[in-house]
Every structure is written in C-alpha cells, then in structure tokens.
C-alpha cells in the first residue's frame, strides 16, 4: 500500500540469535499468510482515508461496502463477460443508505462510486496494489519482496464496453481464506457443504454453499485467463503439457463436481420437504438456488473446456499466417523539425546529418553471380533492325454517323442565326421560321440559342471568326407550341482584330 521498498539483500545479523523461520516450508507458509493479509489492506485503508473526503463520512463502514461490492461483482461475473459498473453502483446504494438513511441519495451514490473506484485503484499507473514483505533466502539472508495484486479489474467487452471482474485475491478476501489451491478448495468447500446438510445445519450450510460458489467462479476465472492468453499469443501458453493437463484435470473435476452437486441438491430438497420449521424451509430454498447456480456455472465451464482444443488450433493458424504488424511512422515535424528549430546551427546540423545518414536505411550493393555473367557474355547479340519490327496494318472500321441532325440542317440553322449586328431577333420568331423550313430544325435552333445564352455575355469564339452569337434573357416568356422558358433576344456582335466585341451593347 506504500511505495516499493528496496529489494536489496540484507546480510544476516550474527548477534540476532537463531533464524526466526524453522525452514523453507515454514518461511513459505509465513509468506503466504503475509500475502493474504496484504490483500485485506486496501479494505482497511478505505476506513482510514474516508476522513480525507470533503464532508462527514465517518458514519459509513467503507470496508463493509467494499466486501459487498466484491461479492456483487463476483456473483454477476460470467465466463465471457463481467459485471456492469453502473449496476454494481445501483445495487450498493440500498446497502449504503441503510447505514445512513438520513443522508441524501447523492451522497450514497458518491460513497458507492468512491469505494468501487478505490477497489479498482483508479489513478494508479497499472490500477493495482503493491505490498512489501520479507522472506529468508536459501543462504539465510533476509530479502524484501514486492507483491503486486488487484482486487477488481476492468476488462474490455464487445462493442467498446468495459466490464468488472474480481481476481483470485479478491475471492480469497471474500471467502476469508489464505492463498489456497483452487481445485482443492473447491472440493473441500463442497465436502463441508455435504456434511453440514447431512447434519441439518442449514444456516452454516448456506455460508459453505456461498463459499463453494465463490470457488467455482475463481476456478472458471483461472481457465478463462489461460484461454485469453492463447487468443493474444499462442506461444505465451504451454499447450504441449501444461494446458492439456489442466483441461483434462478440469473436465474430470467438473464431472465429479456435477455428480456431487446433484447429490447435494437431492439432500437439500429432501431436507426442505421434510422440515416443518419455516426458517428451515427458507434456508433450504436458498441453498437450492445457490447449488443450482453452481451447477449452471460448471456446465458453462465444461462447454468452454470442450471448445479449448479447436480454439487453440484456430488461433495457431490465425497467428502463424497473420500479416506482420505495420510499424508506426515517424512524425518528422514533431520528432525532428520542432525540437531542432530552436537549436543553433552547429547543433542542428549534427542532428539532421545523423537522421538522414541513418534514416535512409541500408543500401544493399548489387552483386553479380559468375554464372549469370558468363551466360550474358557468351550469348550472341540479337540482330535488330534500325527502325524496329514492321508494324501491322490496322484494320479500320468506319464509324456510323449517328448524329440526329444532318449537315444540311446544321447549315440551315447557321444561316438562320446569321443575323445582322444591328438587328437582333426574338427566339420565338426564329423558331417559327425554322419550323416552316423543316419540322426538326427548331430543336437545333433552340440548342444553339441556349448555348449562346451561357455565359450571359456571349459564347466563346474560334480564332478567325468575325461574328459572335449571343443571347440575352430580358424576362419575356416564350410563347411556342413545343418549347417553354424565356423568349431570348438572339443577336450577333462584330469582332475586331483583337477578338473583342464591338458595339455589343448597342446591337443588343
């Protein structure tokens, strides 16, 4: 709970008497108890630090709230997901409100979030706790060691969500046991539960059943971490001996526990049906729900164990044939230009020379194999013509003329639009005259007039032309049986030698 102390070895004190530990086994037992005691320190620290909060919070039992939070997170964990942060806070609020019912609801929520964030250890770098304890080495020297652990950790979920999961250390705190083996603790808890039920001590049996369920969750968490490590990196997990042995042991364990728990469930139901005491019946009903939850968790664990082999093979194929990860690029401005600009020239040159000298990468010299060189030298040159090979005659196909208007119609439209510079005409009159000449000619005249109206000052001209066709919209509506829109004023402007329109305004 403090900063890590020095891990330097301390020489043995010759005048301090005999070694305190009787042997390596006894010293290891002491270390295990010290680690288990360290896991409870964050809970005691909550009651010590509640005086630093802005307000009067001495009425709240923070360690009690913390144990309830660990309990809720553990029971709401699933094999693939965890507990929702807001749901845990909402379920803690009634318990906190019972401690201080006269306080406002906002304060109860603040206490719940403060306790949960401290169990996660929000604000630290790795969101974990550290304790320092001492052991004796093989040579009798006293060595200080660091013990890093977490109680509640945040894990990513699907869709960017974040779940809460308890660790083995948190379950040990919840059960009130030392750092024990998960499998042996699970068997011991269920044997204890069976004995208590057979003797009719259902109050004690309920506590033992809850501890057995916590151990079931802890055992599932151990296997889940192994499978998650496999998804990240197959080489990080020993799939040759360790994991297959663990899966085989876990499957056998699940089968034994499933038979054992069904027998326990039968005894509980019998005790519930035969009892006349209402409290006895209520305890038995709660025990039935707890054991059913244990059976459900074991069934889920068994299905995950059966999927472990295919998951390993799929991850092995995926990771073996995955494309290499792209390396991050270099920010030339942020990494090179910005730090170098304030430097004097003689210092900046050394930096830039070093960067460009090493940043271009290695230059592999071109090497020629002797066999290839001999083949090239002994191969006679290929005779080539001066102008190259003869090009084949292209087979050209005449493109059919698919234009709507013929050349005669185009000439007639241009003749119709060849107006004097001082005598512009309305589009309606031009369309009527074009319709008398040819029924298709008004469409062509209308297209040329619209083209002449954009841009408003006139269309582009070709070099050598003396007239510029233009059209102006003065707001008059076109009256024509086939066309609608504006009745444009169509005219021509004379171009001088520089290509500028002369007297265009007067002509319009």
For residue 206, name the pLDDT band (cuts at 50, 70, 90): low
How far, in Å, CA of 174 to CA of 203, rounded? Answer: 18
Give domain status of residue 377, yes or no: no
Q: Do 131 and 193 sit in the same domain of this protein?
A: no
pLDDT digits (tens, 9 = 90+) for 219-268: 677 777 777 887 788 877 787 887 888 778 777 777 777 777 777 777 77
Give domain status of residue 360, yes or no: no
For residue 17, name the pLDDT band (cuts at 50, 70, 90): very low
Give domain status of residue 325, yes or no: no
Q: Do 129 and 246 sit in the same domain of this protein?
A: no
- pLDDT for 161: 80
- pLDDT for 155: 81
Give residue 454's domain range. Answer: 407-507
Give domain status of residue 362, yes or no: no
Give the residue among 358, 334, 338 at the shortest CA–CA distance from 348.
Answer: 338
H/E element, 241? none
Please state the separation of Cα 194 from the chain's center in Å: 46
pLDDT digits (tens, 9 = 90+) for 352-391: 888 887 776 666 666 777 877 788 888 887 776 666 667 7
pLDDT digits (tens, 9 = 90+) for 37-57: 788 888 888 888 887 777 778
H/E element, 35? helix 24-49
* Over residues 408-436, mean pLDDT: 85
Looking at the structure of the chain, the number of domains it has is 3
- pLDDT for 417: 84
**What backbone phi and psi angles, to 5 degrees, belong to 11?**
-65, 150
The string over 482-501, giving b where at least 16 C-beta atoms fall within 10 Å of a residue's C-beta and e elsewhere, is ebeebbbbbbbbbbeeeeeb
pLDDT of 108 strictly over 60: yes
pLDDT digits (tens, 9 = 90+) for 166-191: 877 777 666 554 444 555 555 555 66
Task: Establish whether the linkage from the previous residue to 199 is cis, with ω within 30° of 0.
Answer: no
Give the residue among 230, 250, 231, 232 at the shortest CA–CA distance from 240.
Answer: 230
Helices marked H in 369-437: 370-378, 407-416, 427-437
Highest mean pLDDT: which range of 63-72, 137-146, 234-243, 244-253? 63-72
Q: Provide DSSP, 438-451.
A: -TTHHHHHHHHHHH
* Over residues 299-319, mean pLDDT: 80
Average pLDDT, the chain: 75
Q: Do 8 and 126 sit in the same domain of this protein?
A: yes
Give domain status of residue 232, yes or no: yes
Give the residue among 119, 123, 113, 13 at the shortest CA–CA distance from 70.
Answer: 119
Query: Of 301, 319, 337, which closes a domain?
Result: 319
Give the residue among 120, 118, 215 at the shortest CA–CA distance from 171.
Answer: 215
Residue with the two structure tokens 């807001």? 86
């Amino acid at each position: 709970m403090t900063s890590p102390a020095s891990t330097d070895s301390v020489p043995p004190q010759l005048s301090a008497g005999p070694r305190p530990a009787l042997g390596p086994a006894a010293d290891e037992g002491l270390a295990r108890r010290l680690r288990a005691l360290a896991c409870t320190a964050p809970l005691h620290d909550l009651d010590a630090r509640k005086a630093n909060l802005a307000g009067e919070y001495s009425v709240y039992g923070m360690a009690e709230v913390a144990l309830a939070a660990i309990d809720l997170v553990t029971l709401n964990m699933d094999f693939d997901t965890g507990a929702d942060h807001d749901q845990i806070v909402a379920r803690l609020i009634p318990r906190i409100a019972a401690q201080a019912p006269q306080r406002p609801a906002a304060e109860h929520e603040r206490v719940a979030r403060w306790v949960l964030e401290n169990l996660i250890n929000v604000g630290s770098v790795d969101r974990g706790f550290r304790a320092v304890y001492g052991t004796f080495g093989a040579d009798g020297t006293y060595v200080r060691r660091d013990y890093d652990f977490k109680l509640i950790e945040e894990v990513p979920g699907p869709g960017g969500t974040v779940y809460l999961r308890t660790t083995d250390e948190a379950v040990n705190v919840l059960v009130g046991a030392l750092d024990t083996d998960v499998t042996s603790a699970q068997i011991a808890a269920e044997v204890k539960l069976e004995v208590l039920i057979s003797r009719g001590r259902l109050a004690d049996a309920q506590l033992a059943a809850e501890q057995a369920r916590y151990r079931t969750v802890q055992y599932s968490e151990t296997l889940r971490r192994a499978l998650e490590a496999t998804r990240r990196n197959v080489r990080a997990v020993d799939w040759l001996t360790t994991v297959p042995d663990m899966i085989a042991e876990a499957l056998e364990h699940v089968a034994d526990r499933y038979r054992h728990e069904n027998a326990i469930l039968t005894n509980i139901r019998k005790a519930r049906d035969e009892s006349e005491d209402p409290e006895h019946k209520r305890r038995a009903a709660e025990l039935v729900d707890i054991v059913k939850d244990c059976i459900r968790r074991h069934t889920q664990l068994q299905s995950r164990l059966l999927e472990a082999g295919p998951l390993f093979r799929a991850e092995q194929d995926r990771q073996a044939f995955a494309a290499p990860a792209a390396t991050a690029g270099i920010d030339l401005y942020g990494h090179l230009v910005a730090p170098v600009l304030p430097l004097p020239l003689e210092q900046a040159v050394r930096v830039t020379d070093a960067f460009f000298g090493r940043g271009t990468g290695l230059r592999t010299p071109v090497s020629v194999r002797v066999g290839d060189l001999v083949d090239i030298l002994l191969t006679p040159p290929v005779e080539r013509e001066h102008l190259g090979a003869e090009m084949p005659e292209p087979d050209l196909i005449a493109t059919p003329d698919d234009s709507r208007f013929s050349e005669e119609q185009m000439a007639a439209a241009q003749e119709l639009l060849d107006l004097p510079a001082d005598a512009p005409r309305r589009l309606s009159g031009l369309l009527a005259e074009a319709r008398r000449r040819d029924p298709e000619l008004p469409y062509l005249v209308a297209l040329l007039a619209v083209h002449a109206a954009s841009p408003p000052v006139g269309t582009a001209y070709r070099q050598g032309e003396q007239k510029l066709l233009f059209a102006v919209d003065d707001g008059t509506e076109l009256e024509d049986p086939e066309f609608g829109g504006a009745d444009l004023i169509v005219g021509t402007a004379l171009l001088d030698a520089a290509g500028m329109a002369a007297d265009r305004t007067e002509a319009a």
